[in-house]
Amino acid sequence: RLRVPIIVRLGERGLSVREVLALVPGSIIDLDKPAEDEIELLVNNRPIATGTAVKIGENFGIRLSAVGNARERLEAARG
């Protein structure tokens, strides 16, 4: 019954404070990761799996292609 936060990380990019302050609705941030590369699933900010982005109706999801072992997943869930 323990609930843990999960994050799907598409990519990362560093921005200067000036660039962050210039963000407005409609801004596009170019990520340094090819669209066909796998994305990461994190639990408590710790990677536990990788997969590909999928569209489910009007929502996005992740189809897992590799998952860490049970011990790694448990340790991530504990924080």
> What percent of the chain has pLDDT above 90?
66
Would you say residue 69 has pLDDT above 90?
no
CB-based contacts of 9, cutoff 8 Å, min separation 6: 39, 40, 41, 42, 47
With contact defined as beta carbons under 8 Å apart, do 65 and 38 qualify?
yes
**Which residues sit opposite 60 in a β-bridge?**
55
Q: Is the pTM of this model over 0.85?
A: no
Give the mean pLDDT of 45-67: 94
Residue 79 predicted with pLDDT over 80: no
Instruction: Compute the average pLDDT of residues 23-43.
Output: 93
pLDDT tops 90 at residue 78: no
